[in-house]
Chains A and B, each alone.
Chain A
Amino acid sequence: MIIGAKTSSPLSPDQLYSRCDPQSLPFATTDEVKNTQGVLGQARAMEATRFGLGIRRPAYNLFVHGPEGTGRHSTIREILDQRAAAEPVPSDWCLVNNFVDAHRPTAIELPPGQGLRLRDAVARLVDELKSAIPSAFEAEDYRTRREAIEETFKERQEVVFAELQERAGQKNITLLKTPVGLALAPVKGDEVINPEAFAKLPEAERNKLEADLELLQSDLQEIIRQLPQWDKERREDIRELNREVTRYAVGHLLDALESDFKLFPAVVNYLAALKTDVIENADIFIARGTENAGQQAMVVAAAGHAEADLAQRYEVNLLVDNALCTGAPVVYEDMPTYANLVGRIEHIAEMGALITNFSMIKGGALHRANGGYLLIDAYKLLTQPYAYEGLKRALISGFVKIESLGQVLSLVSTVSLEPEAIPLDLKIVLIGAPRLYYMLHQLDPEFADLFKVSVDYGPDMDRDEESTATYANVIAGLATKEKLKAFDAGAVARLIEFSAREADYWSEKSSDRTVTAEDVQTAIDTRIRRVDSLRERSHEMITRGIKLIDTDGSRVGQINALSVMSLGGYSFGGPSRITARVRMGKGQVVDIEREVELGGPLHSKGVLILSSFLSGLYALDRPLSLSASLVFEQSYGGIDGDSASSAELYCLLSALSGLPIKQCFAVTGSVNQKGEVQPIGGVNEKIEGFFDICKARGFSPGQGVLIPASNICHLMLRADVVEACTNGDFAIYAVETIDQGVEILTGVQSGVADDKGVFPEGTVNALVETRLRDMADDLRNYSRPPESHNASHDDSHDKMSDGKKADD
């Protein structure tokens, strides 16, 4: 006897779509919305942001994490802009030559705007020195004094050589200049005596000549030894003269500059060092104006080098210029490479070699954001080599030091620049996906110390009056920012997840002055149309009978399950056929998808739960003696998730009970061991997918979808689905348990066990239990020794024996 199920009621139309009533919105169009600020349902994130930004201490940096599209970037940027505008403008930073150690340029901190002033003032000074110093050195006074020094040196030489020549002449010896030096030789008259004549000289005279030669030669050597010292003294005299002249030429210029910057001790110190350097190296300025006779090309080259020398030596490298800032800087580094963060030392190729100087040092985002805020995309940061390490190093040390990666990694050992590190006072805001936050937290022990503030943007929000009003504010803000038409209340009500821009386009096509609900709907529909070709093809396969899906009739061990495909940001649902076969066995439910490695772990978990459900409900006092197989028919790709587990269980129960399942239904929902149906994702897409198939084939009576009752709150079905349900062409059933579902699918009561644990006869559960008990009995019979088998089981005995042998 089969006991018919009581008729279950489908969901009412108002449960299928949570409508937003335009009348409930406190405005007619977004033009009336005055406050265009607002963050959608992120109270927790806002609180964390306020906390993080409010603590101006090192390491209280923020990691803003949440799903894409939750407004992380725009919101945090807006908050930072507002906050930074009220904060003081940070200092300028300059790099200047370290005249004592040129490899370590000096960093100078100045109030905002003063860096630019210093740079320009020093540039003007150098321009003035370029003319003042050469003029001083071209003056008659200087030339005369220099010539006097040179002349003194020459006279000194002339005197000693003349004296030597004089003494030599008195001894009939002359001084000769040879190509390699000087020689003394005995002479007769004006000519050097020839060897024969010398040999004929009396021995005493010859000996005397030789002795005189030796003596004079010794004196000559002494004179020549003294020459370098005298030359050194000459050079030193000239150098001192040059210093004196330069000091006079530059003194008043530098005094004026020092007076201008007397409030800044670092600048005063720098100018004092610059003055000393100019005095010691005046030749750099003189080289510009001096022509090297007859070598014009070299003159041009030399002048170029002299200019470069000046630029390199006395330029003020304005690393950070906040002259035009009106508050603390908010910097978003779009490409957070190591060099873009900490700065770089650039090089130029010259004569085949790469050279650099402090004027080629460029600041990074850390420099620009110092005193303010730096926003970085966490994913980009982590994918740039050594960028994260560089950022951490700066945050830990509290200083930003410009070094090339080669230096940091000790890959190059060539001499390079080591500019003075600059103290860091900024707040870093990393923005990224939650998994990055949790991964960094787990894998990097320093991360938690450096990013103490977690700003968690939730993926959804409660829908209430307040959030609706905020949403309207956001739409109004977007419309203003993107220069769109105002949205009327109907449009705002209709806007859920589609862009305001697309709606604006469709509004342009119409003549309305505002964006209406119809415009929004058109935007939604056309967007779907643009991307749903895959859905169309998939559904076409079903409607043309290539993919086998029944939408009417009844079948034992066969059910329509629902699945969702997501591709390129577009999701759609559709039915898949699941079939089940059962036979006597050892309590195994075989997931064929898993056997062929097409099923994922979640799917397998769902299938394993079925065994547990069957054992718990039907085979508490005996072994579960079935062997069942489940398969997604015509599925050739991988599947995962447990949303089909309830469908698989219904299918299995049908196969066990022999009760056919109505094919006008499709089912979704996962199930637990107790037979409770649990919520799943993509409920709207799944329902709409089956609806589209039914609609394409023409509705037949009773068609509908079984969903978990806990998914009712997620229902936001298309208007045509709601309309069909209203008209009775389609129905959505919400079920809480497998018993409820199986009654709808089979039209037979599921049956509740009495006090003794016995299900009412003819119910689904009773049929299933009976079948399982029979299987267990059969299996027990097959397991007995051969002599105890009755005749009717002879054949089976032979089969089981084979099977037993096989098992052995």
Chain B
Amino acid sequence: MFRPGKASLDPEKPRILIPLDTSDESLAALKIAVRLASRMRARLEGLFIEDDNLLRAGELSCCQVVHSVTATASSFDRADMERQLRLAARRARASLVAETSEQGLDWTFRVDRGDVMTRTLAAAMDVDLIVMGRSSGRLGQGQRLSSMSRQLLQGSTAVLVAGSRRYHGSVACLYDGSSLAERALEVSIQVSSRDGGRLLVLLTRSSDGRGRVEELARGKGLEIDFETLPDSQLHSLQSVLHRVPIELLVLPNSLPALIETGMETIASTFDVPVLVIGDKG
């Protein structure tokens, strides 16, 4: 179900999918998505998925909900659950409206029902970028999210995993000379130049992309810093990023460290939003 935020939707605009629920992590991801959409002049597509596992659990008399504030247990049925999900969807939409209204962004919001991962993957197929909230780790959802992000990247979608905090600083982009790195660089320049900001380009020793970077950034009014990494391993990234404050880390999906550790791990390691550029992105 689409609910357009503006009368006419520009089909040429990039589309950013933001799966929403009512958690703090989801709200943090929404804020980052709004900033990114503003810089990329993209359309934000909110998605709320009614988990059918919850609806089915409501049909089982043996299931109870343990309230997270009081730790008390109470019975619930399918009707209760549907009502709660409707309310949660309404709150998610209200958050989307509140965050986008100041920026004057195009937005849509829809509610879907089914398996969360399946429906999210399906929705991500059509968009240019999906912004995922970091899992709290409380329910072991980290594993599911990692799995989902891997599948998303396999589907060649750009995936951004939100950090838990917001920092100010440069956009950092790892450039290893690959075609995906080229694309990551383009996106980084696009995101940085909106504010006339700074771009930190992390060059791998094997790449010699300084000239290429300067060529792409010419005329964008950007201040570009370069750092050369001894290799593209995670600890090399850490040594740089712990010194330099950044607001967004853009990585090509071809990075071995990424493939080895998963983007969730990288996001939690640096506590910054990590944007991974797949083939499609």
Contact = CB atoms under 8 A, between A and B. Distances in A.
A184 interface: yes
Interface in A167-196: 174-187, 190-195
B60 A186 contact: yes
B51 A176 contact: yes
Given A140-B242, A195-B59, A178 B53 contact: no
B59 A181 contact: no
Nearest to A185: B57
Interface string B39-82: 00000000000010110110110111111110111001000010
A181 B67 contact: yes
B30 to A, nearest CB: 10
- Max count, chain B CB within 10 A of own CB: residue among A183, A187, A220, A293: A183
A308 B54 CA distance: 50
Interface in B78-118: 81, 84-85, 87-88, 99, 115
A162 B140 CA distance: 6
A158 interface: yes
B271 interface: yes
| Residue picked from B65, B67, B87, B88, most chain A C-beta under 10 Å | B65
A167 to B, nearest CB: 12
B139 interface: yes
B22 interface: yes
A176 B53 contact: yes
A221 interface: yes
Contacts of A192: 53-54, 56-57, 60
A132 interface: no
A189 to B, nearest CB: 11
**Most B-side CB within 10 Å, residue of A180, A220, A293:** A180
B66 A217 contact: yes
A157 interface: yes
A425 to B, nearest CB: 58
B65 A182 contact: yes
Contact of B66 (A158, A179, A198, A221): A221
B137 interface: yes
A162 B142 CA distance: 10
Nearest to A175: B139
B218 interface: no
A182 B140 contact: no
A179 B64 contact: no
A217 B67 CA distance: 11
A158 B138 contact: yes
A224 interface: yes
A147 interface: yes
A186 B57 CA distance: 8
A803 interface: no
Given A176-B53, A294-B31, A213 B139 contact: no
B183 interface: no
B81 A178 contact: yes
A154 B142 CA distance: 12
Contact of A165 (B67, B76, B81, B139): B139
Contacts of B54: 176, 178, 183, 192
B150 interface: no
Contacts of A181: 65-69
B83 to A, nearest CB: 9
A530 interface: no
Contacts of B63: 183-185, 213
Contacts of B67: 180-181, 224
Contacts of B21: 179
A154 B24 CA distance: 15
A198 B60 contact: yes
Interface in B162-215: 166, 168
Contacts of B53: 174, 176, 185, 187, 191-192
Interface string A122-140: 0000000000000000001
Interface string B227-264: 00000000000000010000000000000000000000
Contacts of A195: 56, 59-60
A195 B58 CA distance: 9
B68 A158 contact: no
A526 to B, nearest CB: 79
A210 B61 CA distance: 10
Interface string A309-342: 0000000000000000000000000000000000
Nearest to B87: A179
A717 interface: no
A443 to B, nearest CB: 69
B60 A180 contact: no
A220 B84 contact: no
A183 B57 contact: yes
A564 interface: no
Given A147-B271, A176-B57, A183-B64, A158 B242 contact: no
Contacts of A158: 137-138, 140, 142
Contacts of B69: 181
A161 B141 CA distance: 10
A209 interface: yes
Nearest to A223: B71
A176 B51 CA distance: 10
Contact of A178 (B72, B84, B141, B168): B84
Given A179-B87, A182-B65, A224 B137 contact: no
B84 A179 contact: yes
Contact of A224 (B66, B115, B141): B66
A221 B140 contact: no
Contacts of B142: 158
A481 interface: no
Contacts of B73: 217, 221
Contacts of A179: 21-22, 84-85, 87-88
A231 to B, nearest CB: 12
B51 to A, nearest CB: 7
A134 to B, nearest CB: 14
Contact of A209 (B62, B85, B138, B168): B62
Contacts of A217: 64, 66, 73
Contacts of B166: 293
B67 to A, nearest CB: 4
A225 interface: yes
Interface string A757-776: 00000000000000000000
A193 B56 contact: yes
B151 to A, nearest CB: 14
Contacts of B71: 221-222, 224-225
A305 B60 CA distance: 53
A181 B59 CA distance: 17
A61 to B, nearest CB: 66
B59 A194 contact: yes
A183 B68 contact: no
Contacts of B141: 177
Contact of A194 (B56, B115, B140): B56
A539 B268 CA distance: 109
B65 A180 contact: yes
Interface in A201-239: 209-210, 213, 217, 220-222, 224-225
Nearest to B68: A181
B60 A178 contact: no
Contacts of A209: 62
Given A154-B137, A192-B53, A195-B60, A178 B65 contact: yes
A464 B271 CA distance: 100
Nearest to A220: B66
13 contacts: A147-B271, A157-B138, A178-B76, A179-B87, A181-B65, A182-B68, A183-B57, A183-B64, A183-B66, A185-B60, A186-B60, A186-B62, A210-B62
Given A192-B57, A224-B67, 17 more contacts: A158-B137, A176-B51, A178-B54, A178-B76, A179-B22, A179-B85, A181-B69, A182-B65, A183-B54, A183-B57, A185-B53, A187-B53, A195-B59, A213-B63, A221-B71, A221-B73, A222-B71
Q: Which 8 A-B pairs have the closest CB atoms?
A: A185-B57, A224-B71, A158-B137, A181-B67, A179-B88, A192-B56, A179-B84, A192-B53
